[in-house]
Chain A
Amino acid sequence: MDETRPIFLQIAEQIENEILDGILAEDAQIPSTNELAAFHRINPATALKGVNMLVDAGIVEKRRGIGMFVTAGARGRVAERRRTEFAAEYVRPLIVEAAKLGIDTDQLTEMLRAQIAALGTPTDPESTERIAS
């Protein structure tokens, strides 16, 4: 855990990442707050706060007496929100740093192309489709 950011946010993000990566499928049960607390050595109330954030966002839902489950369409919702944050959190700092180093727009575009080529084509059909659209 990163000591400097609210831990409940990190718990929520981590579960979201697992949903994005497909480790937690839709309809899968997520760990209980006590399991999360024991695993991360955090206060159970903190773990609960993180999970409740996901409940409010419609990403997980409580099934009475059983536990918390990933909702249908959760992966799409997480991806959708992350995409809206992408420009501000990744693209903008990239442009600012490039400008500082005297890299112009054409050079930056070329660098991106070269890196994408080096990494290969994204294999995830959903993400490829989104990039194309």
Chain B
Amino acid sequence: MTATVARTRGLVKRYGSFTAIDAVDLELTENRIYGLLGRNGAGKTTLMQLLTGQIFPNGGELEVFGRPPAEHADVLRRLCFIAEAQRYPDTFTPAHVLAAAPWYFENWDAAFAERLVADFRLPLKRRIKKLSRGQLSAVGVIVGLASRADLTFFDEPYLGLDAVARHIFYDRLLEDYAEHPRTVVLSTHLIDEVANLLEHVILIDQGRILLDRDAEEVRGSATTIAGAASVVDSFVADRAVIGRDRLGGLASVTIDGRLDRAERVRAAELGLELAPVSLQQLIVHLTGTDLDGAGDAEGKAAA
């Protein structure tokens, strides 16, 4: 019932001695909204460039709609990649971009594009290089949505967009996705705002996949326990600790895993405070450095 639209096995991309994508195994399923998350320089853009056939891998397997994407017109026609800073010819206006879009996207919906132009109040006749950063982002968002490509990538789509415009983007994306299901990959390091839109989360760090999981499974899958250091330490003794903070005799420890009702009651009776961890906080813990060096040594010293 659910088809795979893209698949990689041991995918590698190197730039000189730097490995940007390091043995990545990944599968994208049709009609899902994915979040491709990670810090700056983690490999998000490189991975999307590989998936859209803009660059060649150095190793591994890569298939999109059943074929390697590079130089296969029948695959590329079904893809849309909205770059963080798309370049256009100097004389181009947004009107030119929208006129050219149907040549590349077979599902292009001009009426939808027109509605989006009004929503974003985009000046159609102004030269693209005179547009503000937010207006340039709006051009990308409009093309990405109205293309209705089977597989659409948005690479940090909302730089410079104000809060109102970002919410227009989220609302239109959800509405249109409900009517015309397709696979969408949102790459971002601003996680909190998009967290609820996602069905699946892929976390990449230093070219490797750290997490590839259903968004609902990830949400609330970690818990922070705070209280007197000795009590906290004994409470989390047999748990996978992913973060640890200390303030005098108080400790705040984040564990990977949920607490069941009995454990919650026990924690309350021990006087411990429990706080669930948001997707953004979890990702900070997973890609941060707070378990390296000092934090860990302190934790061991306390134990």
Contacts and interface: CB of A to CB of B under 8 A. Distances in A.
Interface of A: 1, 3-8, 34, 37-38, 40-46, 49, 88, 92-93, 96, 100
Given A1-B196, A3-B192, A5-B276, A44 B177 contact: yes
A88 B198 CA distance: 33
Interface in B159-186: 167, 170-171, 174-175, 177-178
A8 B215 CA distance: 11
Contacts of A44: 174, 177-178
B199 A43 contact: yes
B174 A3 contact: no
Given A44-B177, A93-B268, A96-B268, A4 B196 contact: no
Contacts of B276: 4-5
Contacts of A49: 216
B33 A6 contact: no
Contacts of A46: 196, 199, 215-216
The majority secondary structure among interface residues of chain A is helix
B261 interface: yes
Q: Which 7 A-B pairs have the closest CB atoms?
A: A4-B276, A34-B178, A3-B278, A42-B196, A43-B199, A45-B199, A5-B220
Nearest to A5: B220
A41 B197 contact: yes
B196 A40 contact: yes
Contacts of B198: 43
Given A7-B216, A37-B174, A37-B178, A43 B268 contact: no
Interface residues of B, number: 30
A4 B278 contact: yes
Nearest to B277: A4
B189 interface: no
A21 B32 CA distance: 34
Contacts of B174: 37-38, 41-44
21 contacts: A3-B219, A3-B280, A4-B219, A4-B220, A4-B276, A5-B220, A6-B216, A6-B219, A38-B171, A38-B174, A41-B167, A41-B174, A41-B196, A42-B174, A43-B174, A46-B196, A88-B265, A92-B265, A93-B268, A96-B269, A100-B271
Given A38-B174, A43-B174, A46-B216, 20 more contacts: A1-B196, A3-B192, A3-B196, A4-B220, A4-B276, A4-B277, A5-B220, A5-B276, A6-B216, A6-B219, A7-B196, A38-B178, A41-B167, A41-B174, A41-B197, A42-B174, A43-B196, A43-B215, A45-B32, A45-B199
Contacts of A100: 271
B197 A42 contact: yes
A8 B216 CA distance: 8
A42 B174 CA distance: 8
B58 to A, nearest CB: 34
B170 A41 contact: yes
Contacts of A96: 268-269
A23 B206 CA distance: 50
B279 interface: yes
A11 to B, nearest CB: 11
Contacts of B216: 6-8, 46, 49
Contacts of B268: 92-93, 96
